């Protein structure tokens, strides 16, 4: 869970306080929506080059609570 807490940030001044990845304006929900739409991890990384594979894994871990 420590890795999740380091990579997922929540700032009330950014993205309406929604969980984001490493302080960027990329919301966890955006990544999860792409997975739900059927995109593969590689496709998501191509669409969002600022992310890495660990970011995607942390999003999935975060979603599973």
Query: Cβ–Cβ contacts within 10 Å for residue 35, how many?
Result: 16
Question: What's the CATH code of the domain at 50?
Answer: 1.10.10.10
Residues 35, 60: contact at Cβ < 8 Å? yes
How many percent of the chain have pLDDT more than 70?
A: 94
Residue 2: per-residue pLDDT: 65
Question: Which single residue is written with the structure tokens 């599973």?
Answer: 64
Q: Domain total for the chain?
A: 1
> Rounded to whole angstroms, how far apart are CA atoms 28 and 26?
7
54: number of CA atoms within 13 Å, CB side? 7
The model's pTM: 0.89
pLDDT tens for each residue of 17-37: 999 999 999 999 999 999 999
């Amino acid at each position: 869970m420590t890795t999740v807490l380091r990579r997922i940030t929540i700032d009330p001044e950014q993205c309406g306080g929604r969980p984001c990845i490493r302080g960027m304006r990329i919301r966890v929900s955006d990544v999860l929506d792409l997975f739900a739409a059927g995109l593969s991890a590689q496709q998501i990384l191509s669409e969002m080059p600022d992310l890495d594979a660990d970011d995607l894994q942390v999003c999935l871990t975060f979603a599973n609570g």
